[in-house]
């Protein structure tokens, strides 16, 4: 799941994220009930949205015309955190889903990066 030069692939991270969210959601359904499983699934959807938003903003930052729109790009980068924070606050205040389950699903991105990094370390041929 690495590219030819050994860099971590985006596809690999997305696949690992999906597996983690599905497994975590299934475990949540089985061990803690419907709301917990849905919470992990919801957090996983947030993780994917966060990933694609981050990817898009980062690519824009390194494009050729980024110098003309640095302020807008910085605002978009920071707005990502604000948007996630507002969603988490709404979940917490309404009690619609267990906040721990949503955060567990949201953590799928971090776990996927660590797993993919470890895989690339232990499968490198150098």
Q: How far apart are CA 47 and CA 42, in angstroms?
A: 9
User: What three-state secondary structure class fits 98?
Assistant: coil
Please, which pLDDT band fits residue 126 given cuts at 50, 70 and 90? low
Provide the residue ranges of all domains of the chain, joining segments of one domain with +. Answer: 10-120
For residue 6, is pLDDT > 60? no
**pLDDT the model gives residue 68:** 61
* Half-sphere exposure (Cβ direction) of 19: Cα atoms closer than 13 Å: 11
Averaged pLDDT of the chain? 87
Tokens of 73: 């790009």
Those residues with Cβ within 8 angstroms of residue 24's Cβ, 6 or more apart along the chain or in another chain: 40, 44, 104, 105, 108
**pLDDT the model gives residue 66:** 57
CA distance readout (Å), 117 to 15, 39, 52: 14, 27, 19
For residue 70, is pLDDT > 80? no
Mean pLDDT of 86-105: 96
Please, which pLDDT band fits residue 113 given cuts at 50, 70 and 90? very high
Instruction: Kindly report whether the global pTM for this prediction surpasses the value 0.85.
Output: no
Pick 79 or 72 by higher pLDDT.
Answer: 79
Percent of the chain with pLDDT over 90: 60
Alpha carbon 94 to chain centroid distance?
Answer: 23
**pLDDT the model gives residue 65:** 65
């Amino acid at each position: 799941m690495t590219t030819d030069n050994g860099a971590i692939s985006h596809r690999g991270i997305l696949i690992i994220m999906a597996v983690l969210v599905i497994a975590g959601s299934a475990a949540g359904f089985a061990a803690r009930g419907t709301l917990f499983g849905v919470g992990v699934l919801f957090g996983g959807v947030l993780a994917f949205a966060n990933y694609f938003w981050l990817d898009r903003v980062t690519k824009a930052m390194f494009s050729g015309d980024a110098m003309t729109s640095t302020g807008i790009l910085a605002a978009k980068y920071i707005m990502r955190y604000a948007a996630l924070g507002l969603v988490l606050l709404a979940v917490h205040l309404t009690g619609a889903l267990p906040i721990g389950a949503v955060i567990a699903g949201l953590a799928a991105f971090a776990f996927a990066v660590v797993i993919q990094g470890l895989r690339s370390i232990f499968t490198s041929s150098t």
